[in-house]
Every structure is written in structure tokens, then in C-alpha cells.
Amino acid sequence: MTTMTMAKALNEGLRAAMRADEKVLLMGEDIGTLGGVFRVTEGLKSEFGPRRVLDTPLAESGIVGSAIGLAMRGYRPVCEIQFDGFVYPAFDQITSQLAKQTYRHGGAQSFPVVIRIPYGGHIGAVEHHQESPEAYFAHTAGLRVVAPATPHDAYWMIQEAIAGNDPVVFLEPKSRYWPKGEVDLSASGAALHASRVVRRGTDVTLIGHGAMVATLLDAAELAAAEGVSAEVVDLRSLSPIDYAPILESVRRTGRAVVVQEAPQQVSVGSEIAATVGERAFYSLQSPVLRVSGYDTPFPPAKLEGVYLPDVDRILEAVDRALAH
């Protein structure tokens, strides 16, 4: 066990993946000499050289499109998109090409391309730098979508994502880059898509991913002080979603609140509410509630505190769930 930030854990995970397989290469804007705007790739260009850590031209479609070609050549490209809001120029290559290539090739060829996206709010940044675009990818068949919540998960999940044979959108909760946590560099980790119960409880199930997991734990702590026992599930994977622990939990608690930073409409939260509503129908004592970003563009930084779900809004929903 060692203590490190998520940024460092990702760095170590990438390093381990690159050492394990020389076909792994990194590409993106400013990831080489600079080490990425979040320093996640720091030191990797000097260790592995400019042919394995590529400072690309400034073009996201170019990055993903050429990564597809590199995958056809047998490489395992890991692309960095500098910020969440800059992934959209690559959307066509991701949606119509990357996600569908394995299918189109009838399995004759795999497309092990990982797209790393620092995502989400809480860092007080300007427009396009605080978004949560997971719904777009989770709706797209052919992609896998994951988001670690802790340094330890980041460490093994990035390696699992790279080692797998499918395209993975790897969402990194950028507000969690700097807090430190325990990382077991020798542990091999769980299956990439396994959700996990991070706190046991009996009255209500709180479900979230990425930076929201820490907020949910805070909320559960406060709820406990008020006599409410909340179970917290870290989704880890947004596509596919590992429903078994969620349904098991909801069948016990009878109540669920799904929390996310993304806008609510047609979101991963909607999907979970729909599926839990369907599969745990007879166990539910109150409707599955969602706490999300509002259905507006991500607001100016000074208002992100209003926009993003916080402990108070989560507890308000818990109260509503329990009031039923």
C-alpha cells in the first residue's frame, strides 16, 4: 500500500501498461513534453520516447481517427482529450467509427482504443472545462464507459481498460485528481465493470460515480448523524452497468437516490432509475429519485456550486425518499 493522488495513480497505471505491452502508445495535445495539462502523463515521454507518447496536432477528430488506424495496425492507443468539452469534435469518429468498427469487421479485428477524458466540475474553470458527457457515450453501443472514484481504482482500472480489447471511454473525475488515497500497486483489481458497495446501510441506497462518490459518502455520514442509514454504491462502470449489487441493495432498502453531475434529462441517472424501477419494482417503497445537474448548460464557475449536486441536495432527496 502506498499513498498517492489519482493523477499519480493514473500516471503509474499508464506506465505499467506501457511497460507491459510495447504496443500501448499515448496520444493527445500537450501530453508529451508538458506531461498533460493535469500532469497525468508526466515523465512518460522521457521514459518511452516520442513515438510512444505523441504530442499531436490540435485536432480531436484527428486524434481519435488516427488512433483507429493505429489500432488497425496492431497498436493500443490511449488518447487524451484535454477537457470534457473538447471531445465533441471527435464525436463522429467515436460514434460512427470507433464504436462500430469491431461490428463492421465481424470480429476480424479488435479496436482496443482508450479515450481518457478529464471530466466534471468542482474546479472553478471556464466554459467547456467542467462538463459530464457520459450520457452520450453510454448511449452508444460498442463503447464501454467507466469512471474511477479513487486513486486505487484509477490505478487498476486504467490498466484493465488498456488491456481489454474494446474501445473504452475512460472518464477521470478531475476534481479528484489531487486528493490522496491508498493505492495497492500489487492488487490486480476487480473486473472492469464491477460496481461496488462502498458503505453499508439499510434505509436508502445512494448511487453515483466519479467525484460524486465522495459527496455521497459525506451525505451518508451526515444522514447517519440524523439516524438514517444510507448504503452507497460506486457505479465505476456506466456502460455496461453492473446492476447486481444495486438491485440487491435496493431490494433491502426499498429506496434509491441516483446522483450525478450531468444534466438529468436522458442521462445515465435516467437509465438507472428506469432499470431499478423495472427490476426492483415490488421492492420499491418510494420512487427512485435523481439528483443531477440542471437541464441547462454548465453555468459560469461562480455558479457551479448551485448547479452541482451537493450534500444538501442529496439529503433533501433522501428526505423525500423516506417521506414516501
Q: Which active-site residues does the annotation give?
A: 129
Instruction: Give the span between the Cα atoms of 43 and 27, in whole angstroms.
Output: 14
CA distance 221 to 151: 21
Binding partner selected for residue 125 from ligand TPP, its own copies, another protein, none, CB under the kind-specific 5 to 8 Å limit = another protein
Interface pattern 102-141 for another protein (x via CB under 8 A): xxxxxxxxxxx-----------xxxxx------------x
Task: Give min distance, CB of 85 to ligand TPP, in A.
Answer: 8
- Note whether 131 binds ligand TPP by CB under 6 A: no
Among 15, 16, 21, 65, binds another protein (CB under 8 A): 65
Which three-class secondary structure state does DSSP give residue 211?
A: coil
Sign of CA dihedral 124, 126, 129, 135: positive
> Binding string to ligand TPP for residues 89 to 108, with x set by CB under 6 A, is what?
x-------------------
Burial category of 149 from C-beta neighbours within 10 Å (exposed 0-12, middle 13-18, buried 19 and up)? buried
Closer CB to another protein, 48 or 201, in the complex: 48
Exposure string (b/e) for 279-304, b if CB count within 10 Å is 16 or more?
ebeeebeeebbbbbbeeeebbebeeb
- Identify which range of 21-29, 107-115, 185-193, 295-303 contacts its own copies by CB under 8 A: 295-303
Read off the amino acid at residue 154.
A
175 contacts 123 by C-beta, under 8 angstroms: yes
Q: Name the E strands within 76-213.
A: 76-80, 114-119, 144-146, 168-173, 180-183, 196-199, 204-208
269 binds, among its own copies, another protein, ligand TPP, none (CB under 5 to 8 A by kind): its own copies
* By the rule CB under 6 A, 86 interacts with ligand TPP: yes
Residue ranges in contact with its own copies by CB under 8 A? 61, 85, 88-89, 91-92, 95-96, 99-100, 103-104, 127-128, 135-136, 138-139, 141-142, 239, 262-263, 265-271, 273-275, 277-279, 281, 284, 286-290, 294-297, 324
